[in-house]
Structure 1
């Protein structure tokens, strides 16, 4: 049970990213319980019930982890953290007799939220590169694959598969976010290929064998993963180098698109 409790705490810390919102939620519940009796049934009791159910290490160990461990953190969205904080703030402000005190409560609430929260636009959002709001490389790579085949079956670099699946269902990928444990899990050859493709120098013979076994035709990877690649010589490498390098491990070099090699597996 100690291990389950530690995992719940780790998920909470990761999800709330060090802000005080969960603490303010708890303080808000206590305040509303004593100061706003009519809000007990509306906010306080449902919040406590949801908190007990969702942040419960026993339920996490025997139920939540088995049902949706890949997205357990999304259950936190059901807890009305912000509504409780907002209701408590408004209630406290309304109890102030003087207008400047009311304003002070609101300003203080904004200041605490800003100081202890996370500015999500700093690192997690970037300017859209196209109408699809996807990285342009994923669009260009997918289009290149579709030019080669109407329904290509491909293994692609892990930086691309989340986006390619959104852009076109006609590109059949060996794995997607399920390689990370989302929705379901992959095993056997699929997981072996994924593990290799996350390595600086993957075993492309293993990758090729698995692709042939499962009838996948195209491989998209970084140039630095090609056999014989050396960073200090990178500027001198051309299509001839990549063609020879990939041919040596059973792949035909097709194209370089937005910094990704596109290769076709050779039969045999």
Structure 2
């Protein structure tokens, strides 16, 4: 028996991980997307960068204002940069979310938040798997 070893281990890349479910995405993505999806329509939501690839893979009904190019290339937009800060500035994020038409904002639970989300039209929606989801009530979810 001859075994040939070549190439490199793809699982060493931080963007890849072993499958947690039949969708081959982290369970947190399944829980978050299932929580925010509205039957019969697409929703716009912003996620931290570690979830971007998986959200697109899991749900065609969840749209995002920026994608993988924001962290793979030098094409960084202001919204992406604001979402990756150590302190979440709700005032700045609110402007970007409103401009992009985001219905939901997903933040890491361990991030410090500057500002009160409810003062910017964000209602607490759900907390799951280390993330907090806010509903942007300024963006209607009507058909």
1:264 is aligned to 2:126: no
Q: Structure 2: 5+ residue runs without aligned partners?
A: none
Equivalent in the alignment of 1:102: none
Residue 196 of structure 1, aligned match among 75, 82, 91: 82
Equivalent in the alignment of 1:162: 53
Residue 216 of structure 1, aligned match among 102, 105, 108: 102
Q: Which runs of 4+ in 1 moved over 4 A?
A: none
Contact 1:251 1:264 in 2 (8 A): yes
Q: Structure 1: 5+ residue runs without aligned partners?
A: 1-105, 229-243
* 1:172-191 equivalence runs, <5 A: 172-181=63-72, 185=75, 191=77
Contact 1:200 1:224 in 2 (8 A): no
Contact 2:21 2:27 in 1 (8 A): yes
Distance (whole Å) between structure 1 residues aligned to residue 61 and residue 111 of structure 2: 26
Equivalent in the alignment of 1:251: 122
**CA spacing shift, 1:121–1:147, aligned 2, 3 Å:** same
Distance (whole Å) between structure 2 residues aligned to residue 126 and residue 207 of structure 1: 29
Residue 137 of structure 1, aligned match among 20, 24, 28: 28
- Number of aligned residue pairs: 136
Equivalent in the alignment of 1:171: 62
Contact 2:43 2:62 in 1 (8 A): yes
Task: Provide, for residues 99-132 of structure 1, a one-character-per-residue CA deviation record: whole Å limited to 9, x for no partner.
Answer: xxxxxxx99xx6xx68xx75x2764564321111
Equivalent in the alignment of 2:113: 227
Shift of 1:258: 1.5
Shift of 1:170: 1.0
* 1:61-80 equivalence runs, <5 A: none
**CA spacing shift, 1:170–1:121, aligned 2, 3 Å:** closer
**Equivalent residue of 1:210, what SS?**
helix
Distance (whole Å) between structure 1 residues aligned to residue 106 and residue 130 of structure 2: 10
Give the structure-2-normalised TM-score: 0.77
Task: Provide, for residues 35-66 of structure 1, a one-character-per-residue CA deviation record: whole Å limited to 9, x for no partner.
Answer: xxxxxxxxxxxxxxxxxxxxxxxxxxxxxxxx
**CA spacing shift, 1:247–1:226, aligned 2, 3 Å:** farther
Structure ranking higher on relative contact order (CA contacts 8 Å, 6+ apart): 2
Distance (whole Å) between structure 1 residues aligned to residue 32 and residue 50 of structure 2: 12
